[in-house]
Chain A
Amino acid sequence: DTAVSQTPKYLVTQMGNDKSIKCEQNLGHDTMYWYKQDSKKFLKIMFSYNNKELIINETVPNRFSPKSPDKAHLNLHINSLELGDSAVYFCASSHSTNTEAFFGQGTRLTVV
């Protein structure tokens, strides 16, 4: 009974393609996030949504577009993929802005 689930777990694609990563949480949380972990394991927030509204957009290229159809879902769409987009992308959720975040298993994106 996975709390925060992401699909796919692995994604290999060519430069220039457009791809999406889906995230769903069944914890009843109202805040969801996307984090990027680079090849050196450094984690940095990309986006934060609260009740389907964008709260944080951390100077991410506009090729990255999050979409939250409802509180339980936060998808990440990436246009015109570049080599530098290769990373592990983590979805997370929290009950509110002042509680801990629960993370998904991650999506390893490889752009070739």
Chain B
Amino acid sequence: AQSVTQPDIHITVSEGASLELRCNYSYGATPYLFWYVQSPGQGLQLLLKYFSGDTLVQGIKGFEAEFKRSQSSFNLRKPSVHWSDAAEYFCAVGLSYNTDKLIFGTGTRLQVFP
């Protein structure tokens, strides 16, 4: 069965530090991959997506992610974190034949210290 794993439940970084949030998926074919962010009390906002092509994708708010097929990973990165980036981050997989069903990871909560 398809699944998404976000190994880090909670990450704390200092403002200005670099960030990498891990995401691994289990799926037999190439999936569609997404990162969403959820600020406290808010809905989910799409940060970036990968469907095909260049494996390094750029998103909003200075985020990027790299799809590595050999590692079944789609890690999210940001070179310099801002305090406003504190939120819950979700990786999601859409099945390549039908993205009607997004499978989400359990999320990583990011705390940013000044």
Pair A98/B102 contact, Cβ less than 8 Å = no
Compute how far the CA of A92 lies from the CA of B43 in the bound complex, rounded to whole angstroms. Answer: 10
Given that A41-B88, A48-B100, A56-B101 are contacting pairs, would A98 and B43 also be in contact in the complex, using a CB cutoff of 8 Å?
no
Interface residues of B in 1-45 (CB under 8 A from A): 32, 34, 36, 38, 42-45
Pair B90/A50 contact, Cβ less than 8 Å = no
Smallest CB–CB gap between A7 and chain B, Å?
13
Compute how far the CA of A4 lies from the CA of B45 in the bound complex, rounded to whole angstroms. Answer: 11
Indicate which residue in B36, B46, B100 contacts A97 across the interface (CB closer than 8 Å).
Answer: B100
Interface residues of B in 39-93 (CB under 8 A from A): 42-46, 49, 51, 88, 90
Pair B106/A100 contact, Cβ less than 8 Å = no
Given that A41-B106, A42-B106 are contacting pairs, would A56 and B100 also be in contact in the complex, using a CB cutoff of 8 Å?
yes
Task: Give the chain A neighbours of B107 by CB distance below 8 A.
Answer: 41-43
